[in-house]
Copies of this chain bind each other. A is one copy, B any other.
Amino acid sequence: MEEITSRNNPAVKAAAALKELKERKSTGLFLLEGARLCKDAALNGVTIKQFFATEKAKEKYFSEYELLSEKAENSFLIPESVAEKLSDTKNSQGFFAVCRQPGVFREIKSGGMYVFTDNVQNPDNMGAIVRTAEAMGADGIIVNSGCDIYSPKALRASMGALLRFPVIKTDTPGDILTECKNNNMKIFASVVDPSAADVTKTSKDGGCVLIIGNEGNGISEETLSLSTHRITIPMKGKAESLNASAAATVLIWEFMKDR
């Protein structure tokens, strides 16, 4: 285990830079923080390039420390000052991994239930939606390029679901949705519109994709045009005040509970 003392060490600077979306995009890497998330990554086949831990973290999370040391290509012991630089939180555990963004899972089961997030921007919402989709037994999540799923906040909010759950990242969602339609899957666009079909009364049998839109703007026109059904959450006048992830929870729940 190599020791790093300076905040200006090149490995530290490169890892800290991954807190920025631009850097994550250009390198295909992301920075993971916290013993539990790092362990999740290691146990789920995520490639770990570098592992950083403070002396305190080594003692406190020794089994995770051993696992990460074994899996990482390079491991570094760091002082608290470096941990602060790498951390996205106020009280850092002092435990970090630089990981490779998982390869894209392309297989979509035509009988499965998938969630498609269309430019969901808030990382807490993004993480919560993936966590809920995994917990409720959906088959995977399709995310377009407007969703920054490897931000530290989204990773935290997902409680590791983003590292375990089948994620299909795409810059050309139209192709995937068209493929799904050709496989007789239903494409449900969730909208805030009382004239759309009531989600509780819609037949959800068979393979399907449930589209969740952006927090402020909803589903983009292009995506909407590829949907086969429009559905909504019937409410007594206040549906628009549901948080995006709460609305997604209700919708995923309605889709999954009878499957």
Q: Which residues of chain B have C-beta atoms less than 8 A from A234's C-beta?
A: 257
Binary per-residue interface labels of chain A (106-139) against chain B in the complex, 1 for a CB within 8 Å, 0 otherwise: 0000000000000000001000100110111100
The answer to whether A239 touches B135, judged by C-beta atoms less than 8 angstroms apart, is: yes
Q: Given A132-B243, A246-B128, A246-B131, verify A238-B137 contact (CB < 8 Å).
A: yes
Chain A facing B: main interface SS: helix
B128 & A257 in contact (Cβ 8 Å cutoff): no
Give Cα distance in the complex from A249 to B129, angstroms. Answer: 13
Which of A235, A239, A246 has the most chain B CB within a 10 Å cutoff? A246
Nearest CB of B to A160, in Å:
9
* 8 closest residue pairs by CB, A with B: A249-B249, A135-B241, A137-B236, A135-B238, A135-B242, A246-B249, A132-B246, A250-B253
A137 near B235: Cβ-Cβ < 8 Å: yes
Closest residue of chain B to A241, judged by CB?
A: B135
What is the total number of copies of this protein in its complex? 2
A227-259 vs B: 1/0 string, CB under 8 Å? 000000011111101110110011001000100
**Bound complex: CA of A237 vs CA of B256, how far in Å?**
13
- Residue contact B257 to A134, C-beta cutoff 8 Å: no
- Check if A246 sits within 8 Å of B243, measured CB to CB: no
In the bound complex, residues from chain B placing their C-beta under 8 Å from that of A159 are 241, 243
Nearest B residue to A127, CB-CB? B243
Q: Which of A135, A235, A250, A253 has the most CB of B within 10 A?
A: A135
Instruction: Answer yes or no: A200 CB below 8 A from chain B CBs.
Output: yes
- Across-interface contacts of A257 in B (CB, < 8 A): 200, 234
CB distance from A115 to the nearest CB of B (A): 13
A–B complex contacts, Cβ < 8 Å, 7 sampled? A128-B246, A132-B242, A134-B241, A135-B242, A137-B235, A159-B241, A161-B241
